[in-house]
Structure 1
Amino acid sequence: MKIDRVKPLYRKVNTKARGVHHHSGSSYRYDRNTKDAESVKMKKDVQRGLDYTPLFRFLLSKVGKRWDSVFSEAVARLDKQEPIFWMVSMDIEDADDYILTSESSYFSGLYVDKDGLLQVVAPEIDETSLSPACKCCTHTFNGKPFTKKFKLE
């Protein structure tokens, strides 16, 4: 009997790739035999290397659907609830037009309307309306590359 498992809405980042940063502090190995070893401790339960791009794409695909069902499905496929609210606001006044999820990846901001439906905050914003912040990276909006070129201001 085969059990179908639902894919999680996050993935591990390739930690061997060049330029992948996990926002970690200094290495404990340099401090452990010093006089300050008592004050420097290794942190427990710190998770690094998770990418929530599948979650953001899932949420974008559910625009116009009932928030209760979208939320319950997303929570069942995640390790924690917090990343959902990076993109989704429960009120339009608190919502952002778009969010920056990494150095060069942008996604539409979402909110839950008064009828309980998931909506895009600023549907007029797309990959043609934003400009890249640097020349070296490929900037994307909802997975599509920006069409404008970098201009030094």
Structure 2
Amino acid sequence: MQRKKPLYRKVNTRTHGVRHGDGGEWRKSRNTKVVKQDLSYNGPMHSHHRHGLDYTPLFRFLLSRVGDDWDKTYSEAVARIDRSDPIFWLGARSKEERKPYVRLGESAYYNGLYIDENKRLALVDPTLTIDDMRPTCGCCSHTFNGERFTQPYDETFGGIR
């Protein structure tokens, strides 16, 4: 039996100019007298960040399964990713978490998902289309479900929907 491809991919993290939140300005001030005297700085530095993984294939997989049984979709997705957290970046666990669209990264937007009363994967706002979305800045290529926005950036509007 052939194993299915994972629903994430590794991103090149060694390319020149790729930034991954490496501490920034903290590295210049961490050994100053003020910091050494203030005990509030004596905490963890959160060194276990997971850099270099792109979950775009997972998001496309989930969007392609709208209307399908949630239990089957979830079990297949979990088997093909390294951890289950990214599933719930799009999928709302409760009614309060539901959003019509979800922003992931700097300029990538996806439909918000939830599990309906019949245990089926559903869109939070099925009427939302790419034509409803507007870029928040003029310098980036904004995408909605993997497609570029059709609306141009407008300074007077200044935002999404």
TM-score normalised according to structure 2 size: 0.79
Amino acid at match of 2:136: A
Paired position in structure 1 for 2:154: 151
1:70 maps to what in 2? Answer: 73
Contact 1:109 1:120 in 2 (8 A): yes
Q: Which amino acid counterpart does residue 64 of structure 2 have in structure 1?
A: S
Change (3 A) 1:18 1:101: farther
Q: CA deviation at 1:136?
A: 1.2
- Give the conservation status (yes or no) of the 8 Å contact 2:13–2:51: no
1:95 to 98, 103, 110: 98
Unaligned runs of 5+ in 2: 37-41, 157-161
Q: Distance in 2 between matches of 1:19 and 1:127?
A: 30
Aligned residues: 150
Q: Measured at CA, do residues 16 and 128 of structure 1 come closer, stay the same or move farther in structure 2, by a change above 3 Å?
A: farther
Partner SS, residue 62 of structure 2? helix
CA contact (8 A) 2:9 2:55 kept: yes
Deviation of 1:152 (Å): 0.7
- Measure, in 2, the Cα distance between the counterparts of 1:74 and 1:43: 27
Residues 100 and 18 (structure 1), Cα distance of their counterparts in 2 relative to 1, 3 Å cut: farther
Residues in 2 aligned to 1:73 and 1:89: alpha-carbon distance in whole angstroms: 18
Post-superposition shift, 1:14? 2.4
The separation in 1 between residues aligned to 2:51 and 2:11, in whole angstroms, is 9
CA contact (8 A) 1:28 1:42 kept: no
2:8 to 7, 10, 19: 10
| Structure 1 residue 91: Cα displacement | 3.7
How far apart, in 1, do the equivalents of 2:44 and 2:123 lie? Answer: 43
User: Normalised by the size of structure 1, how large is the TM-score?
Assistant: 0.83
For residue 107 of structure 1, report the CA deviation from its aligned partner.
0.3
Question: CA offset at residue 21 of structure 1?
Answer: 3.1
1:56 maps to what in 2?
A: 59
Aligned to 2:114, what secondary structure does the other structure show? strand
Q: Does the CA-based 8 Å contact 1:109-1:121 persist in structure 2?
A: yes
**Structure 1: runs of 5 or more not aligned:** none
For residue 141 of structure 1, what is the aligned residue in structure 2? 144
What RMSD over aligned residues (CA atoms) do the two structures have, in Å?
2.7
